[in-house]
């Protein structure tokens, strides 16, 4: 019932292609060099902001962000005004942090850490072990060499950000939709045990951070992938592996998506393992929703409100993060990827290209307020 094409899983994370070279060219920056971006602190906590409503609801509300958009002063201003949680869209992925074996480049992530701390925002680290956006040199490794590289990368990255990152997506997207280890991941050849090894290394490097497993299409209560993920996490907990939470990406397919009640059941099921549950990468494309422009936006609002309502009904669901700030910078607005998916424009986020509040913003705000 739920499907996500391979290009979509990869494409959303590349953001603006021109920025990749900037990240790869940075030098190694020691932890003490983490410094302020100089962005202006927003004036006042407006009671009508998502941030204020989430605080009242005792939830976090977040967005994925990229430093190269900070050149527009409106971007950091709105980011800090509306959200109290931040996820690096690309700056903490393997290709950006360790482009060559043993050479670590933390500059981009350091800037986002500084921005988050300056504005009183929680930071979610994303991601330590993932088959996509690997540095090219990693793809040539196998066996013990691959395992050693993985453990070094997890250790050095988590150690660098120790005390700054509240939550880590330690392992990302280990399973395919049939509930099997992914055939396109080099880490699958290490066996499912690599997941426990990565979590143990992350805990040793940063004992205070909450450690998450993160994946897409695990929202339906009884899909093969949801069941496999549940059994994996149950086994990790029973084995004493340091696991604190599960992240459900929530890239919504409007054509086939679980109801709010179905999602609530899924959240509750994971919560029985003693885990925090977070929505980590939410967006709602409207291109494939039938109707007029106004009807598309209304349906988008209702879909998002249902997700937030489901989270609000489960105490273990502690946060909701959107995969971007405005439609202008969404991966679904990138022309190269949008033309592959077709039926655009997709306009998947809370704010339009001019930072205006869309109907979906009002829907999420109402859900946070229990309406």
> Percent of the chain scored above 70 by pLDDT?
85
Instruction: Assign 334 a pLDDT band (cuts: 50, 70, 90).
Output: confident
Could you confirm whether 281 is annotated as catalytic? yes
Q: Where do we find the tokens 């988050």?
A: 116
3-class SS of residue 137:
helix
Which of 82, 91, 107, 173 is the catalytic position? 173
Which of 98, 107, 278, 281 is the catalytic position? 281
pLDDT digits (tens, 9 = 90+) for 48-101: 899 999 999 999 999 999 999 999 999 999 999 999 999 999 999 999 999 999
99 with 135: CB under 8 angstroms? yes
- Helix, strand, coil abundance in the chain, percent, nearest 5: 45, 15, 40
For residues 183 and 76, give the distance between their C-alpha atoms in angstroms, rounded to a whole number.
39
For residues 333 and 286, give the distance between their C-alpha atoms in angstroms, rounded to a whole number.
12
For residues 110 and 119, give the distance between their C-alpha atoms in angstroms, rounded to a whole number.
14
Q: Specify the DSSP class assigned to residue 34.
A: -
Q: Which of 124-138, 252-266, 334-348 shows the lowest per-residue confidence on average (mean pLDDT)?
A: 334-348
pLDDT digits (tens, 9 = 90+) for 31-41: 233 333 333 33
Partners of 277 in the beta sheet? 246, 317
Name 294's Cβ contacts closer than 8 Å, sequence gap at least 6. none
For residues 174 and 185, give the distance between their C-alpha atoms in angstroms, rounded to a whole number.
8
Give Dmax (Cα) for the chain: 55
Q: What is the pLDDT of residue 33?
A: 34
CATH class of 11-38+49-368: alpha beta
pLDDT digits (tens, 9 = 90+) for 150-182: 999 999 999 999 999 999 999 999 999 999 999
Closest alpha carbon to 259 in 218, 201, 310: 310
Residue 8 in this model has a pLDDT that exceeds 50: no
């Amino acid at each position: 019932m739920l499907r996500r094409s391979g290009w979509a899983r990869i494409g959303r994370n590349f953001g603006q292609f021109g920025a990749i070279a900037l990240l790869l060219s940075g030098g190694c920056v020691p932890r003490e060099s983490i410094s302020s971006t100089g962005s202006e602190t927003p004036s006042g906590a407006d009671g009508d902001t998502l941030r204020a409503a989430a605080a009242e609801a005792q939830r976090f509300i977040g967005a994925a962000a990229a430093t190269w958009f900070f050149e527009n002063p409106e971007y950091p201003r709105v980011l800090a005004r509306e959200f109290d949680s931040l996820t690096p869209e690309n700056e903490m992925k393997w290709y950006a942090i360790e482009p060559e074996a043993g050479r670590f480049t933390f500059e981009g992530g350091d800037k986002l850490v500084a921005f988050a701390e300056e504005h009183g925002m929680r930071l979610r680290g994303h991601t330590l072990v993932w088959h996509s956006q690997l540095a090219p040199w990693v793809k040539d490794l196998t066996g013990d060499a691959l395992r050693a590289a993985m453990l070094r990368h997890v250790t050095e990255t988590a150690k660098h950000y120790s005390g700054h990152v509240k939550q880590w997506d330690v392992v990302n997207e280990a399973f395919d939709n049939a509930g099997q280890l992914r055939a396109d991941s080099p880490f699958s050849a290490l066996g499912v045990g690599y997941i426990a090894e990565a979590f143990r290394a992350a805990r040793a490097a940063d004992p205070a951070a909450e450690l998450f497993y993160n994946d897409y299409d695990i929202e339906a209560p009884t899909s093969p992938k949801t069941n496999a993920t549940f059994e994996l996490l149950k086994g990790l907990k029973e084995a004493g592996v340091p696991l604190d939470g599960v992240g459900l990406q929530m890239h919504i397919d409007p054509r086939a998506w679980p109801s709010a009640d179905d999602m609530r059941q899924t959240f509750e099921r994971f919560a029985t393992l003693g885990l925090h549950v977070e929505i980590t990468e939410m967006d709602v494309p409207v291109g494939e929703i039938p109707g007029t422009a106004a009807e598309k936006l209304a349906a988008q609002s209702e879909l998002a409100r249902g997700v937030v309502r489901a989270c609000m009904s489960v105490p273990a669901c502690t946060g909701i993060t959107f995969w971007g700030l405005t439609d202008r910078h969404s991966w679904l607005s990138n022309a190269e990827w949008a033309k592959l998916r077709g039926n655009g424009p997709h306009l998947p986020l809370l704010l339009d290209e001019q930072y205006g509040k869309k109907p979906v913003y009002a829907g999420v705000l109402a859900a946070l307020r229990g309406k």
